[in-house]
């Protein structure tokens, strides 16, 4: 917002013909601050601000509504002598009448001498109803100090013309009903022409800024779209090229190779492909290259049939429907699937389409626009040479993903179109909401941002009620608190670190994680203050024997990185060799990429990672190479943790330069000592609300001290589970009591030890 705008700049806006100094959103924010006493302006300036907002709203809606009346009333309550207030008050009234006049499709009216009397009577009765309704909506009260004399003058002429027209229509109806011969057909048609002319004059009399939206060319509409600078430049050049060739043809020049209208649009979801296709249809129609500006939108499901001949039939049906306009095929690459079998009829659609585009019957009578993801469309076109040749290289338009500043602008526009606005603080927070959604290639750009805004609006509406005493701005404002309730997964409020502290043992790991957490926090603070931040290495190797807590710590690590803002989702994905490596050539990379895509925004934990490498000819090498490439590609959106035995992990990391250069953070998980194993036992026993008698506790303490425990915590969990089962067997024939059900004895653990000691 222009926080530096002065009162003098606000008051300077005194005519509707000059540029408004504030946007609609900035005006809303400023009035919001005034309502909450955060700003202090004179009554005159406040009246101008309310008038400014009423103007923006009238321009956006192109009609009057309750809020415009409310805003003008508020302006008048501060200072009703403000010039723009008086102008808007008058303009609003006449603009509303013009919209009523628009409903009267008088340009389509006509009556002929040769029409049969019943036809004439039907037409006249229909006209009379509409004219009387329009007269009923006429402006009954006008202020004496009109600020728009030209508009008033034309309005009076319209008012008189309507009255005279009604009179002659009524006389004509009476003549026809009474079977009197002849009605003044010429006079009736003259009134129609006069009303059409007055309607145009009336519209032209309004200030330019209020009628601009109805008169925008396709290029102007394109220029108003957020971002897409290169696309706008190309479409503008394309428009002028087509126009130049058209004018050149009128001069008598001939061109054997006519400019092609068919086009390919590539881009990720929500980048504006459909919108631009519709604007192209308007451009083609405006230049007379196509008869209509209609766009027929289809995809694979519309075209591909389930039996022989149905695909050709479906395709021809939509081609005929598109004649004179554009056939827009979304996700066109799906017509030709790589694994396509003989029962897939997508190729029949392509063949039929190419035939229609080149055949005498339909060629140049419709335009085809193919749309889809960039890489998929490239492969699709290269695999169909006949189709590719129909689309000139210059007619392949690539729509880029929107930048963050553009996505934020789209969010503001979406909110405003639904009569909401973001406070500045909320808009800054919403940027992080968008950023968290930009995890992988499923992000839908403008479409996703629109959905996020609507989600915020839904959450606000689901928790608010409207009272008559409410400030009207309260129900337009989206503030930070509305975004707080929008986020179902709230910040973890130090839970990860608390979970880590609660783990038994792992002293060295806790220190390493705390050190990393402090480092991350410090670097983020430096970055905010404008200092250079030291690169953060988050990929890690967890080495240690089974049961030492590697998986548990990795889950906490993922939550901690989300809390620090370094991961967008913070979810945990567990994988092993079988999840990444396939059994035949070419599939391992696909399988690995799928698992990585699943983990984007979180942590990919690969257990027993050394199993990926079993020699140069093993498919696991392809998984490693793919992993390294994807880690580079998604550097700030993925954390990989490799886990396994210490010696094996060292050999594995050192065997591949790509791995050794990316994994520099090592966490060594030590075996638990006897005291820690007892604590873990106590924890798991208490977890199920059991109790150890003193002999059982003494027994397990001695066992942990006397034996080397393979499996660490995993051994303890198995031991407790077995002890509980042996206790159940022991008390099966006893009379149950609370003490009996809860108490675990030494004999239970002795039998359990014998069962699991080999683990």
Which tens digits make up the pLDDT trace of 39-50? 778 999 999 999
pLDDT value for 467: 77
Residue 276: pLDDT over 80: yes
For position 4, what pLDDT does the model report?
64
**By CB neighbour count within 10 A (0-12 exposed, 13-18 middle, 19+ buried), where does 586 fall?**
exposed
- 143 — pLDDT class (breaks 50, 70, 90): low
Q: What percent of the chain has pLDDT over 90?
A: 30
Q: pLDDT digits over 478-535, tens only? A: 988 888 766 544 444 457 888 888 888 888 988 888 888 888 888 878 877 778 878 7
Average pLDDT over residues 428-447: 84
Query: Mean pLDDT lowest for which of 72-81, 87-96, 478-487, 592-601?
Result: 478-487
Helix (H, G, I), strand (E, B) or coil at 640: strand
- Report H helices in 529-586: 550-563, 577-580
The pLDDT value recorded for residue 640 is 94
Banded pLDDT at 320 (limits 50, 70, 90): very high
Which pLDDT band holds residue 274 (cuts at 50, 70, 90)? very high
Mean pLDDT of 453-478: 84
In this predicted structure, what is the pLDDT of residue 140? 65
Q: What is the pLDDT of residues 586-597, one digit of tens each?
A: 788 888 988 998
Question: CA 145 to CA 142: how far, in whole Å?
Answer: 9
Min mean pLDDT across 93-102, 142-151, 240-249 is at 142-151
Q: What is the mean pLDDT of residues 295-314?
A: 90
pLDDT of residue 215: 65
Q: What is the model's pTM?
A: 0.71
DSSP category for residue 141: -
> What is the band of 759 on the pLDDT scale with cuts at 50, 70, 90?
very low
Q: What percent of the chain has pLDDT over 70?
A: 94
- Confidence tier at 106 by pLDDT (50, 70, 90): confident
* Cα–Cα dist 302/296, whole Å: 11
Contacts of residue 346, Cβ cutoff 8 Å, sequence gap at least 6: 300, 304, 311, 334, 335, 336, 337, 340
pLDDT band, residue 25 (cuts 50/70/90): very high
What does pLDDT average to over the chain?
A: 86
Could you tell me the CA-to-CA distances from 415 to 70, 106, 213, 645 in Å, in that order? 21, 36, 20, 54
pLDDT in tens, 324-379: 999 999 999 988 865 555 556 788 899 999 999 988 899 889 999 999 988 888 88
Average pLDDT, integer, range 56-72: 84
Task: Report the distance separating Cα 438 and Cα 623, nearest Å.
Answer: 25
Return d(Cα 119, Cα 111) in angstroms, integer: 9
As a whole number of angstroms, the longest Cα–Cα distance in the chain is 124
Quickly state the pLDDT bin for 756 (edges 50, 70, 90): confident
- What single-letter DSSP state applies at residue 535? P
Residue 542 is predicted with a pLDDT of 94
Report pLDDT digits (tens) over 181-222: 778 999 999 999 999 999 999 888 888 777 655 567 888 888
């Amino acid at each position: 917002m222009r926080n530096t705008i002065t009162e003098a700049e606000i008051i300077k806006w005194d005519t509707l013909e000059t540029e408004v100094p504030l946007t609609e959103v900035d005006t809303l924010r400023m009035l919001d601050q005034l309502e909450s006493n955060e700003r202090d302006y004179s009554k005159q300036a406040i009246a101008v601000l309310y008038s400014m907002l009423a103007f923006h709203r009238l321009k956006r809606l192109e009609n009057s509504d309750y809020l415009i009346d409310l805003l003008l009333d508020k302006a008048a309550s501060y200072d009703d002598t403000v010039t723009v207030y008086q102008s808007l008050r008058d303009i609003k009234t006449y603009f509303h009448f013009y919209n009523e006049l628009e409903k009267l499709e008088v340009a389509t009216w006509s009556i002929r001498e040769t029409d049969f009397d019943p036809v004439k009577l039907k037409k006249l009765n229909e006209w009379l109803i509409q004219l009387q309704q329009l007269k009923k909506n006429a402006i009954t009260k006008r202020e004496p100090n009109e600020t728009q004399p030209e508009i008033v003058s034309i309005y009076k002429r319209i008012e008189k013309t309507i009255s005279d027209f009604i009179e002659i229509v009524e006389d004509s109806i009476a003549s026809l009903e009474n079977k009197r011969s002849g009605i003044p057909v010429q006079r009736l048609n003259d009134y129609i022409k006069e009303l059409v002319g007055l309607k145009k004059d009336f519209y032209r009399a309004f200030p330019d800024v209020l009628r601009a939206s109805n008169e925008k060319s396709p290029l102007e509409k394109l220029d108003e779209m957020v971002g897409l600078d290169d696309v706008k430049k190309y479409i503008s050049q394309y428009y002028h090229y087509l126009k130049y060739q058209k004018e050149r043809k009128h001069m008598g020049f001939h061109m054997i190779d006519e400019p092609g209208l068919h086009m390919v649009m590539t881009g990720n979801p929500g980048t504006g492909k459909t919108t631009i296709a519709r604007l192209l249809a308007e451009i083609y129609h405006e230049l007379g290259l196509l008869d209509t500006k209609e766009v027929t939108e289809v995809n694979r499901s519309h075209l591909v049939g389930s039996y022989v001949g149905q695909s050709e039939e479906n395709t021809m049906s939509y081609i005929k429907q598109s004649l004179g306009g554009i056939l827009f095929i979304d996700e066109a690459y799906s017509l030709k699937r790589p694994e396509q079998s003989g029962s897939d009829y997508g190729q029949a659609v392509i063949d039929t389409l190419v035939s229609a585009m080149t055949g005498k019957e339909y060629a140049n009578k419709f335009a085809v626009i193919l749309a889809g993801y960039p890489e998929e469309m490239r492969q699709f076109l290269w695999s169909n040479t006949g189709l590719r040749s129909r689309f000139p290289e210059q007619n392949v338009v690539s729509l880029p993903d929107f930048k963050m500043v553009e996505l934020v602008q789209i969010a503001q526009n979406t909110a405003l179109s639904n009569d909401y606005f973001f406070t500045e603080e909320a808009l800054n927070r919403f940027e992080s909401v968008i950023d968290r959604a930009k995890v992988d290639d499923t992000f839908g750009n403008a479409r996703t941002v629109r959905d996020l805004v609507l989600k915020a609006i839904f959450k606000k509406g689901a928790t608010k009620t409207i009272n008559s005493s409410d400030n009207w701005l309260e129900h337009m404002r989206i503030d930070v608190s509305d975004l707080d309730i929008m986020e179902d997964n709230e910040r973890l409020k130090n839970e990860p670190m608390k979970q880590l502290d609660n783990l038994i043992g792992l002293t060295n790991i806790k220190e390493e994680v705390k050190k990393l957490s402090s480092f991350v926090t410090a670097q983020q603070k430096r970055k905010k203050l404008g200092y250079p931040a030291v690169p953060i290495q988050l990929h890690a190797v967890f080495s240690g024997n089974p049961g030492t807590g590697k998986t548990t710590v990795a889950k906490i690590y993922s939550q901690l990185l989300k809390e620090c803002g370094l991961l967008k989702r913070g979810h945990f994905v567990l994988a092993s060799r079988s999840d990444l490596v396939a059994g035949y050539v070419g599939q391992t990379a696909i399988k690995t990429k799928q698992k990585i895509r699943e983990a984007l925004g979180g942590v990919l934990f690969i257990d027993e990672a050394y199993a990926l490498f079993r020699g140069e000819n093993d498919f696991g090498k392809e998984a490693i190479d793919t992993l390294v490439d994807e880690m580079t590609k998604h550097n700030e959106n993925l954390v990989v943790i490799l886990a396994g035995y210490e010696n094996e992990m060292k050999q594995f990391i050192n065997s591949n330069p790509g791995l050794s250069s990316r994994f520099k953070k090592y966490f060594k998980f030590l075996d638990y000592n006897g005291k820690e194993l007892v604590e873990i036992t106590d924890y798991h026993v208490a977890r199920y609300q059991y109790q150890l008698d003193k002999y059982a506790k003494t027994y397990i303490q001695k066992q942990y001290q006397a034996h080397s425990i393979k499996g660490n915590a995993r051994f303890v969990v198995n031991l407790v589970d077995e002890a509980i089962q042996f206790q159940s067997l022991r008390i099966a024939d006893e009379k149950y009591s609370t003490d009996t059900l809860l108490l675990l004895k030494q004999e239970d653990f002795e039998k359990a030890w014998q069962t699991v000691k080999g683990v």
